[in-house]
């Protein structure tokens, strides 16, 4: 079986991106799931990695705990935005390695829910064929 090598989305070459249309995701290798995913506290609560009762705690302590657990890779104190951790190959930690489908789809962050309406090139995606 010929396997297409998996490569992360090329955010530096937006001209290679494709205009999004309904059904494009059906045969994609989930290249959008190789982009950095910025999330907020509400997203982390929805994902179940932060409990609702932690909302009152200092956000920097939550960030520190999630960095140690390798759930987030970065935290912006100024904007209070977390960036989800990525695997060494660039995949989102919630992307299934074999099926290339989101393992937390129903609880996915707002950034993912709004893609490709928002992102580096709104209305376009870094589509890569699964065939």
How distant, in Å, are the alpha carbons of 30, 59, 128 from that of 81?
A: 23, 10, 28
Domain spans of the chain, in order of start: 36-125
Quick: pLDDT tens for 66-107: 999 999 999 999 999 999 999 999 999 999 999 989 999 999
Record the pTM.
0.84
DSSP class per residue in 7-23: ----TT-GGG-EE--TT
Specify the pLDDT at position 8: 66
Specify the pLDDT at position 61: 96
What backbone torsions phi and psi does residue 81 show, to the nearest 5 degrees? Answer: -120, 130
Q: How many residues does the chain have?
A: 131
Please, is 90 exposed, middle or buried when counting C-beta atoms within 10 Å of its C-beta (0-12, 13-18, 19+)?
middle
d(CA 84, CA 8): 15
Specify the pLDDT at position 1: 41
Please, which pLDDT band fits residue 7 given cuts at 50, 70 and 90?
A: low
Listed in sequence order, the residues at least 6 apart from 119 whose beta carbon sits closer than 8 Å to its beta carbon are 32, 35, 111, 125
Specify the pLDDT at position 2: 45
């Amino acid at each position: 079986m010929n396997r297409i090598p998996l490569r992360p989305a090329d955010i530096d070459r937006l001209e290679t991106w494709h205009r999004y249309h309904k059904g494009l995701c059906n045969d994609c290798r989930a290249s959008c799931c190789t982009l950095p995913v910025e999330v907020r506290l509400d997203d982390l609560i929805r994902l179940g990695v932060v409990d609702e009762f932690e909302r009152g705690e200092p956000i920097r302590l939550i960030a520190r705990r999630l960095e140690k657990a390798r759930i987030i890779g970065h935290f912006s104190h100024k904007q209070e935005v977390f960036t989800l951790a990525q695997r060494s190959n660039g995949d989102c930690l919630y992307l299934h390695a074999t099926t290339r489908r989101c393992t937390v789809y129903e609880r996915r962050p707002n950034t993912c829910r709004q893609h490709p309406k928002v992102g580096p090139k709104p209305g376009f995606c870094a589509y890569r064929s699964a065939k």
